[in-house]
Amino acid sequence: MFLGDSVKILDLFGKKDAAVEVGRSLPYQIASEFIPFRLYANRKSSSMLLMRLKNLTTEPVLSSMVIQVPKGLSLDETGLSGAKELRLGTLAPGEEKQARADIFGDSGTDKGEYTLSITAFIHYRDYGHVLNAMKKKAVLEVV
C-alpha cells in the first residue's frame, strides 16, 4: 500500500489528512525578546525570555516549545537545567500564545554572545507524537 492509497482510504471514511495540510508550509511564526536584553558576566544575574508563537496553519494544532541554552547559562537558579519544555495546548488557526522562561547566569558565565535554541512542535494525539517542528535561534549578550 502506498501513501497515496492511505490518503484515499482516509477520504473514504470522511477523515481528512491534517498531516499533509500542516506539512505544506511554515507552521508557526516565532518571536522572541529578552528583558533585560543582556546578562552580567561572572555574577548571578537573570533575564526573561518572552516568546510569542502564532499558528500559521489552517488547522488547530497541539503545540509545545523546547528551549535549550548553551553551557554557561541555565534555565533555573541552581545552574543545572539546560533545557525546558513548555506545553501550550491547542492553538486555533491564527491564534497566538505567549510563553516565558527565565535565563540565569552565574559566576562561571563569561562575556560573549550565547545562542539559545527555541524549537516549536506540532503534535498529534498527545505530546508524545510529533508531526512537524520549527526551530529558531536567539542570541543573548553577556557583558
List the one residue out of 43, 112, 102, 50 whose CA is nearest residue 76. 102
Domain chopping of the chain, boundaries: 26-142
Q: What is the dihedral of CA 70, 133, 24, 124, to 10 degrees?
A: -170
List the one residue out of 61, 54, 123 whose CA is nearest residue 95. 54
Percentage helix, strand, coil, to 5, in the chain? 10, 50, 35
pTM: 0.80
Separation of CA 52 from chain center: 9
Q: What is the pLDDT along the chain (143 residues), one digit of tens a residue?
A: 444 444 443 443 444 455 555 556 789 999 999 999 999 999 999 999 999 999 999 999 999 999 999 999 999 998 899 999 999 999 999 999 999 999 999 998 999 999 999 999 999 989 999 999 999 999 999 99
According to CATH, the superfamily of the domain at 26-142 is: Immunoglobulins (2.60.40.10)
